Amino acid sequence: MDQLNTIDHDLNETMTTLATIEEIVQAKESVFGKKGSLTQIMKQFRDASTEDRPLLGQKVNQIKAKYLNAFDHQIRRLEKQQLDEQLMSESVDIFLPGTRPLMGGLHPIRQAEKDLISACESLGFSMVKGPIIEDTFHNFEALNIPDTHPSRDMHDTFYLNNHHVLRTHTSSVQIRHMLKTPPPLKMLSSGPVFRCDSDRTHSPMFHQMEGLYVNHKVTLPELKYTLDALLKTFFEDDHLIRFRSSYFPFTEPSFEVDIQFKKTGEWMEVLGAGMVHRNVFRSVNYNPDDVSGFAFGLGIDRLAMLKYGIEDIRAFYENDTRFLRQGAPC
Ligand code: FA5
């Protein structure tokens, strides 16, 4: 009993001196831990007399009730105090501007394509899809481009095995569509095309949009009207447009359209167009005496350059986020 009284007395004194969580834990362990003084004393209880044992047990319980709770209470108090101090030192300035999350947006080419598709659809054209890997029949021969044509040169396009190429224009989709659709038809197609080209206005991979209208007695003024309307809708303001006669094996007569850069006054070719050649109708089993049609193929990248004032086509493909971030959110 004396030893228990000493423990009680010592604990009473120590409690007032404990200042840190570590000191409290240590003090608690030295009395109540496995090797603590109280635990050691309790092991000797079996030697005590039957009369003493309940008294000793009572004293132990008293000590436990008095100090264990006090230790735990002290620890919780100090922990809370530490947390408060930490929060005070880490205080947040709620008036600082937050970091904005980066928003995804449409790539300028995709935005231009979307606008062009909607302008064409409002003129009655319907979207048709075609393959990017194309055979030479659809990409060349059916379009009146024989083997000997310069665009068949290995250096002018990307050849794959077995008479296949990465399509060099979207005109191949015209052929596919006419082969499975009887006239009249008014189709539109768009997507990536590939050529061995690279400079400020030429990219090895770029985007074209093709329009084709076949019916009885389709006329050149209808084509000119369509292109005028399409470009006016796309630009939403005035750009100087120039029609210039040209040559394509698959149209006769043919012309190209140039548009002027507002800032520099420089003209840039944006599309080729013309009345569908009789040989093209023959290759898709249409009777050229019965039907006529017009077709156009425009460069989406170049139209986007003109609309957004971009002077180098390569800017579209460098993936500089400062450039891309200027696009509208999707
Ligand atoms: C053609 O590709 C024809 N298939 C267009 C056509 C369709 C004519 C139907 C008649 C009837 P051309 O090679 O000129 O034509 O290309 C058409 C447009 O694609 C050009 O006016 C230009 O705007 C764009 N273009 C051509 N090459 C590149 C290139 N390397 N990089 C970016 N744009 C290009």
Same-domain check for residues 128 and 198: yes
53: which 2 tokens?
Answer: 């044992």
If phi > 0 it is left, if psi is from -120 to 50 it is alpha, else beta; for residue 41 that is alpha
Residue 95 forms part of a structural domain: no
Same-domain check for residues 86 and 208: no
Q: Please tell me the distance from the alpha carbon of residue 152 to that of residue 160, in angstroms, as a whole number.
A: 13
How close is the Cα of 303 to the center of ligand 1, in Å?
12
Ligand 1 contacts (CB < 6 A) are 169, 171, 195, 197, 202-203, 206, 208, 210, 248, 251, 254, 269-274, 295-299, 301-302, 313
316: which 2 tokens?
Answer: 């579209």
pLDDT for residue 323? 86
The percentage of the chain sitting over the pLDDT mark of 70, rounded to a whole number, equals 99
How close is the Cα of 208 to the center of ligand 1, in Å?
7
Q: Please tell me the distance from the alpha carbon of residue 139 to that of residue 193, in angstroms, as a whole number.
A: 11
Q: Please tell me the distance from the alpha carbon of residue 306 to that of residue 316, in angstroms, as a whole number.
A: 13
Same-domain check for residues 279 and 158: yes
Same-domain check for residues 255 and 302: yes
Tell me the residue range of the domain where 245 lies.
108-324
Q: Which residues of the chain have pLDDT under 50?
A: none
Residue 329 forms part of a structural domain: no
Residue carrying structure tokens 């009777």: 287
- pLDDT, tens only, 175-223: 999 999 999 999 999 999 999 999 999 999 999 999 999 999 999 999 9
How close is the Cα of 124 to the center of ligand 1, in Å?
22
pLDDT for residue 317? 95
Residue 101 forms part of a structural domain: no
Look at residue 274 and give its three-state secondary structure. strand
Q: Please tell me the distance from the alpha carbon of residue 274 to that of residue 212, in angstroms, as a whole number.
A: 10
Q: Whose CA is nearest to atom 19 of ligand 1?
A: 299
pLDDT for residue 328? 63
Same-domain check for residues 161 and 308: yes
pLDDT for residue 44? 82
pLDDT for residue 293? 98
pLDDT for residue 199? 96
CATH of the domain at 218: 3.30.930.10
Q: Please tell me the distance from the alpha carbon of residue 269 to that of residue 308, in angstroms, as a whole number.
A: 16
- What's the gap between Cα 327 and its chain centre? 12
Same-domain check for residues 229 and 165: yes
pLDDT for residue 330? 54
Domain final position from 29, 57, 90: 90
Q: Please tell me the distance from the alpha carbon of residue 284 to that of residue 137, in angstroms, as a whole number.
A: 11
Same-domain check for residues 24 and 148: no
Number of domains, the chain: 2
How close is the Cα of 327 to the center of ligand 1, in Å?
25
Q: Which atom of ligand 1 is nearest to the CA of 171?
A: 4
